[in-house]
Amino acid sequence: MSHDVAGKPRHRVVVIGSGFGGLFGTQALKRADVDITLIAKTTHHLFQPLLYQVATGILSEGEIAPATREVLARQKNVRVLLGNVTHIDLEARTVTSKVLDRETVTPYDSLLVAAGAGQSYFGNDQFAQFAPGMKSIDDALELRGRIFSSFEWAELASTPKEIDRLMTFVVVGAGPTGVEMAGQIAELSRRTLRRDFRRIDTSRARIILLDAAPQVLPAFGDQLGTKAAKRLAEIGVEVQLGAMVTNVDATGIDVVDSDGTKRRIEAVTKVWAAGVQASELGAQLAEQSGATIDRAGRVLVNDDLTLPGHAEVFVVGDMAALKGYPGVAQVAIQGARYAADRITRRLSGTAPSGPFEYHDKGSMATISRFSAVASIGKAHFTGFIAWMLWLAVHLVYIIGFKHRLTTLLHWSVSFLGRGRSERTVTEQQVFARTAIDQLGSGYAPTLPRVPADNKQPSQSVAQAREEAGRTL
C-alpha cells in the first residue's frame, strides 16, 4: 500500500473504530496522499439507530451492518485490520490491538480516535446480566431471542403469575432508543403475534417504559415529549417517569419513585436503554496527555478536535466532549470529516480551517408505525409526516443500494402488513453471553496455530508485486 516518493514514505493515518466517525473519516481521506489503517473490533460498520429493529424482528443484522471491507474495497489507500485496541502510546505514536491471542502494533503519524461508547449502568454493571443494552449486534440478537422466547415460554407456563411475568417487558430509558424499542414491542405483541398463539393473548402483554427523568424524550423539548408520551399510551405502553432503578435480577426490577415509594415490577425481559459510557481509550489518552475526561469518560478536546498537547491526535464522536454537543451520529460524521480536512490541509501546507462547529440537522424518533416526532431547527413535526421524514433520512444513511432496497422491502412487510421477516431465535442468542461470563476471566479463546506461525509474517501479495515491479 505504501508508496515512496524520493525515499520518503507516505503519511500514515490510523483510524480507530468503524462506526460513523471512523468510516466517514476514512472515506473523507480517499483522495489524500496518505496510507490509512482502520482498526476495529468488529468486521462491520454498524448503523446503530436501527438496532432496535433487529431486536424486534423487522430487519436482519446484515442490513444495518455491512462488512467494513466491502464498504471500503474500492478505496485503495485503506487497510482494514480486525482488532480490539488495547493501548495507545502517544510518545511512540503506536496503536496496539489484539484479536484473540494475536497482538498487533501499528505506527501512525496522525491518529483519528473514533472508538465510540458503550452502555452505562451508572456503576451497577451487574445489571447487564439481566438487562442487556442496545449498543451492538450481539445485544440486538440477544434481545430478539429474549423478547420472542418470552412469548414462547409464556405459552408453556403453568400459572397466571408466571405468564404475567413472562409477558411483562420493561424498557429502562425514555430517550429515542427506549421510546422506539417500547413502541415496537407493543406493536409486536398487539399486531404481529396476536394470532399466533393458542393459550396466551399476546395483546395483553405489559410494556413499561421507565425513566428517572420527569419527561419522555427530554432532548426534544416539552411539546414533542408530551406528544410522544401520549402516543405511547395510546398503543399500550405504560410510561412511568421519576422512577429510579435500584436493582435488577432474573425475574424482575426494583424501582424507587420520586416520592420515595419502593416497588417491584415482575418481568423476565428487561432492556437497558439509559446512559452511555465512552470507550476506555479516553482515559488512556487523558492520562498520557493530561487532558480532562467528563463523567461519561469523554475527552475534553481542543476546538479543532485535537487532544491537548498532541496536534496529531483527533478525538471525535461519542469520545469527544466539546461545547455540549450531543452524542449523535451527525456529530461523529461532521467531526470526522473536519478532522480529515485538517489532516489534508496540514500535509498540503494549506492554512487550517477554523474551529469545529456542529451543524444540527435535527432529531427524530419513531413511536409506532406511521407515527414519529421530529425536531428540525425551529420546526416540529409529529405523526405521519414526521414518520415519513424519519424513513427518508434513515434510508439515505444506510450504506449501499442493496441494503437500502432490502430494508425498504422489510419495512413494507412490517409497517404495511403485520409480518416480521426476522423472527428466528436460538438458545445461543439468549444465553451465550451469560455462559461466557460464567467461564470467568480465565477463559481466553486462542487462534489455532503451529510453531512456524510464530515467525515474522511474510510479505503481502501487494508488497511482493510492488517490489517485483521496482526490480523490473
Shortest CA distance to 332 belongs to which of 11, 14, 27, 13?
A: 27
**How many whole angstroms separate alpha carbon 405 and alpha carbon 412?**
11
180 is catalytic: yes
DSSP classification of residue 455: S
Helix (H) or strand (E) holding 364: strand 363-368
Write out the DSSP string of 109-140. Answer: SEEEE---EEE--TT-GGGGGTS--SSSHHHH
Phi first, then psi, for residue 224 (nearest 5°) are -70, -35
- Pairing type for strands 371-376 and 363-368 reads antiparallel
CA-based torsion, 113, 40, 433, 58: positive or negative: positive
CB-CB contact of 232 with 182 (8 Å): yes
Strand ranges (E), 180-323: 206-211, 237-241, 243-249, 252-257, 262-266, 269-272, 276-278, 299-300, 306-307, 310-315, 320-321
CA pair distance 272, 268, nearest whole angstrom: 13
Return the number of other C-beta atoms located less than 10 Å from residue 223's C-beta. 12
Q: Report the alpha-carbon distance of residue 287 to residue 174 in Å, rounded.
A: 34
Neighbours of 408 (CB within 10 A): 13
Catalytic residue (one of 142, 180, 187, 422) = 180
- The residues that are catalytic are 180
